[in-house]
Structure 1
Amino acid sequence: MSQKGQSERLGTEPIPQLLKNLSIPAMVGMFVMALYNIVDTIFISYGVGIDGVAGVTIAFPIMMIIMAVSAAMGIGGASVISRRLGERREQEANKVFGNMITMILIMSVLGFIAAFTVLEPLLVLFGATPNILGHAIDYMFPIMLGTFFFSFAFATNNIIRSEGNAKFAMMAMIIPAVINIILDPIFIFGFNMGVQGAAFATVISQASVTVVILRYFLTGKSSLQLRLSDLKLDFIILKEVVGVGLPAFVQQAAGSVMMIALNTMLIRFGSDFYVGVFGIVQRIIMFTMMPMIGVMQGMQPIVGYNYGAKQFVRLRETVSLGLKVVTTISIIMFILLMSFPQWFMMIFTSDQAVINAGVASMRIMFAAAFLIGIQIVSGGLYQALGKAKQAMILSLSRQVLFLIPLVLILPHFFGLNGVFLAFPIADIFSFTLAVILLYRDRATFFLKKADEQGHMPISSGTS
């Protein structure tokens, strides 16, 4: 497919076929990405024990901060680029891309320096006890040295999808996952490196796919061009990218804060053991959300391109179909998780105490999981349209406005179960807020009136 045809099909191909073609590769890629996180945890659980899993769980908020900045650059840049392509402003799209790369380079240098200066104090601040601090340091030190590889791969994957090349975006997630899965047992068991072996395997896998992605952009296979002249920072472009990507940053950063709060309360009302148990459950949460995130990622370039091209009928068709698909997926996941939680736990461990604790917590945490799909898609829609304020509200809602306060309050009344009970209550509140916002902007997403008037009203917080 030609470079222009690759993005122009977003405005011409039938929506059901287009959404399938973009979502399935994204879903497969996200599944595989979740899979190697799961495989990491499985190998650590069997090779090191529940303390190793707890150490990685304590360290995870730092990794989430790195990914938060990458998400802001990647998702914000992808939204701007997809709209520039829809408006036939290719040179400006290239400039946006170049500025993103510069910001990733700056962040990578900061991550490298932080590995040698503030890593241990941060882990202690985040709740690491003497029993698990060593495991946490062993895992995070190599990760922070390889900040560039994680950031570049994560951010550019969004860009590749924004130009409609979902298959290569999928391959860019599958390649490191396969390499990581192969290297994990070699480093953890073969070289007896324990938790640090899992970290080295992850860094090497991300470095490998970074080479593949660079080749993609430098050999003319992309609709975009990577040129030295575009690397010069343009603060007007950065303002737009950060404005759109800020909700994604807040969502990821809030996830980091949420993890810190969770770990603190789990240790206070339980022990290190429950941090390890939650580390396993968190991987299950991640795995179940991947297909819905894949659908959302498939929708975003379609919505962004057709909004820029003023093809509003196609935009509405995409929204309607996407919401139906994610709702169906979330209901299926709910049924599986509530019916067979022990099967999911047994993948990670044969320790019956860990399995029992995990099953008990999962039944509480996933009690409202059938509502998650609409939450995920609604935030992604506003990001794709460049409506930063609405996207910010939805990004903040579940974790910052609802989950973190509930995690800090409920354990004082319900003990350890209060930590887990916070999840379904936050899901209910966040779902309600998403429905309210979508209803207020129904003229954009659902009604024909917008086409007849020739414009697309956004009732609140238009940016």
Structure 2
Amino acid sequence: MARVASDELGTWPIGKLLVKQAIPAAIGILVMSLNILVDSIFVGKWIGPMAIAAINVVLPVSFFIGALGIAIGVGGSSIISRALGQGDRTKAVSVFGNQIALTILITVALVVVGLSYRDVLIPAFGGKGAIFEPAKIYYTIILYGVPFLALCMMGNTVIRAEGKPKFAMIAMIVPSVGNLLMDYIFIYLFDWGMQGAAWASTVGYLSCFVYVAYFFLGKNTEIIGWWKAVGFQWSIVKEISALGSVTLARQAVTSVNYLILNNVLFDLGGEALVAVYAIIGRMLMFALFPVFGVTQGFLPIAGYNYGAQKFDRVKTSIYTAIKYASLVGTLVFLGLLIFPDFMVNLFLSDKADLPQSILDINAYVRAHGPNALRWVFAATPIIALQLIGSAYFQAVGKAIPAFLLTLSRQGFFFIPLVLILPVYWGALGVWLAFPLADLLATIVTGIALKREMARLG
């Protein structure tokens, strides 16, 4: 039964297969994104917009450590998908054992470092002024749960590489439901404030870890006996690291972007402008869930068929994934173009008895947030090509082009733009940097992907 699940990747029609893989991935990302969105709404309404800004400051550090799990997972899953395509299950087991050892070692070490230098890291990422204290509270608690998050993210990608998207979907739903439930208990009922928000997220990470462990200790996995392979084999570690560095570089640059953006925005407009970006950041995580779902569904299909040398199916999967992702990206863009005020107001409290400083921030966000939201999402209809293109090179084990294409948008283009444009246009320059970086990265990715398709024949 387990073998049939992975063999489907090489036999089913691509359109049907992509839907089967992408819908559970999209639902999982939707629930996870809804968790982030609703969590932010709860925090904004029950604690205040300053709390959202504080969480936004902490995210780059905690997400970077958590992203190590994703990086190790994606790097290893690319190898596992191709190994399963070649019928080499022994290698798949060895890779997973190395993934576990790497995830535990690296994330625990970084958590220790992160806690030791928290008073330096928090201000560096924009946690200045009134944002510092709530950010420190949230940061300290959340880091304790980040290694469990990393193990969950790593395991989730492997579950998907086995051709079991429904299990991967559940693994993303479990922590989201747990987090929202704990939000209500810890923040609303117990009135724990920022501590409640942090503990709610940490409990969510732990619940996800329990589910993923249940999957790999049960009968559903094809990677049987993985516990005997936990350890380090240099050849495998090297291959995981080369491919995983693409995902890690993406998150590292994302963290650097948060650092730059929070500081640039703080200098331009103080805490209020940081709060505007914090809300936009939540919408970026939420609104693009169907595009990310298609991308996640595409990865094991491309990797398996490339490993099986079914290049016509690889090309078909690329074209189909771009078509589906472009369609949903356009729908997302239209929704945000028409309803930006509604989206922004979701995060703001209507209470009139709030402190004047909070009321001032609310008024500023209402005035400037909708227009900023439109600009940031202006290039959404075309980003599918960039995401699918860079994902393809990662799926087939081509680490260098995947690495460069991944960095093109968030690093090579976005960082210079976000540093230069605000000099001339202020906050508007920050928002313009997003669609311009998307456009330039899409052009570069399109050229690289066209050449690769010609090579496949």
Short-chain TM bin: over 0.9
Counterpart check, 1:374 vs 2:390: no
Letter in 2 for 1:121: V
| Cα separation, 2, equivalents of 1:204 and 1:69 | 20
Distance 1:74 1:209 in 2: 15
Superposition deviation, residue 221 in structure 1: 1.3
**Counterparts of residues 351-370 of structure 1 (less than 5 Å):** 351-370=362-381
Q: Which runs of 4+ in 1 moved over 6 A?
A: none
Q: Which residue of 2 aligns with 1:66?
A: 65
Shift of 1:115: 4.9
Counterpart for residue 358 of structure 2: none
Does 1:339 find its partner at 2:324? no
Residues of 1 paired with 2:425 and 2:8: CA distance?
Answer: 53
Report what 1:414 is aligned to. Answer: 425
**Structure 2: how far apart are the matches of 1:195 and 1:403?**
32
Deviations 1:173-230 (A, max 9, x none): 0111111111112111211111221111111111112111111111221011243331
Pair 1:112–1:244, CA change in 2 (3 A):
closer
Equivalent positions of 1:50-449 (< 5 A) are 50-349=49-348, 350=350, 351-444=362-455
Give the partner amino acid of 1:262: L
Question: In the aligned structure 2, how far is the partner of 1:297 from the partner of 1:382?
Answer: 13
Per the TM alignment, residue 111 of structure 1 is displaced from its structure 2 partner at its CA by 3.8
Render the CA deviation track for 1:113-132: whole Å, top value 9, x for unaligned. 23541122111222211311
Query: Is the contact between residue 149 and residue 208 of structure 2 (CA under 8 Å) also seen in structure 1?
Result: no
Bigger CA drift: 218-227 or 414-423? 218-227
Q: Is the 8 Å Cα contact of residues 329 and 373 (structure 1) preserved in structure 2?
A: no
Give ranges in structure 2 of 5+ residues lacking alignment. Answer: 351-361
Partners of 2:214 and 2:295 in 1: how far apart?
27
Give the Å deviation of 1:369: 2.0
Deviates more, 1:69-78 or 1:435-444: 435-444
The answer for the alignment partner of 2:23 in structure 1 is 24
8 Å Cα contact 2:421-2:430 kept in structure 1 = yes
User: Is the 2:10–2:305 Cα contact (8 Å) retained in structure 1?
Assistant: yes
Of 114-123 and 376-385, the range deviating more from structure 2: 114-123
Secondary structure in 1 matching 2:163: coil
Q: Give distance in 2, aligned partners of 1:252 and 1:40.
A: 22
Q: 1:67, 1:375 → 2: CA distance?
A: 23
Residue 43 of structure 1 pairs with residue 48 of structure 2: no
Stretches of structure 1 that go unaligned for 5 or more consecutive residues are 451-463
Q: What is the CA-CA distance between 1:352 and the residue it aligns to? A: 4.3
Structure 1: how far apart are the matches of 2:126 and 2:52?
14
Deviations, residues 135-166 of structure 1 (Å, cap 9, x unaligned): 11111112111122110111111000001000
Partner residue in 1 for 2:12: 13
What is the alpha-carbon distance in structure 1 between the residues aligned to residue 327 and residue 428 of structure 2?
29
Give the CA deviation at 1:444. 4.8
Matched residue type, 1:429: L
Distance 1:207 1:444 in 2: 45
TM-score by length of 2: 0.95
Aligned-pair identity in percent equals 36
Looking at structure 2, the residues matched to 444 and 50 of structure 1 have their Cα atoms a distance apart, in angstroms, of 51
Distance 1:335 1:116 in 2: 42
User: Is contact 2:84-2:304 (8 Å) kept?
Assistant: yes
Distance 1:155 1:444, change over 3 A: farther
8 A Cα contact 1:6 1:223, kept in partner: no
Across the aligned residues of Structure 1 and Structure 2, the Cα RMSD in angstroms comes to: 1.3
Distance 1:226 1:62, change over 3 A: farther
Q: Is the 8 A contact 2:146 2:205 kept in 1?
A: no
Normalised by the length of structure 1, the TM-score is 0.94
Distance, in Å, in 2 between the alignment partners of 1:23 and 1:363 is 27
Query: CA, structure 1 residues 339+316, in 2 after alignment: closer, same or farther (shift >3 Å)?
Result: same
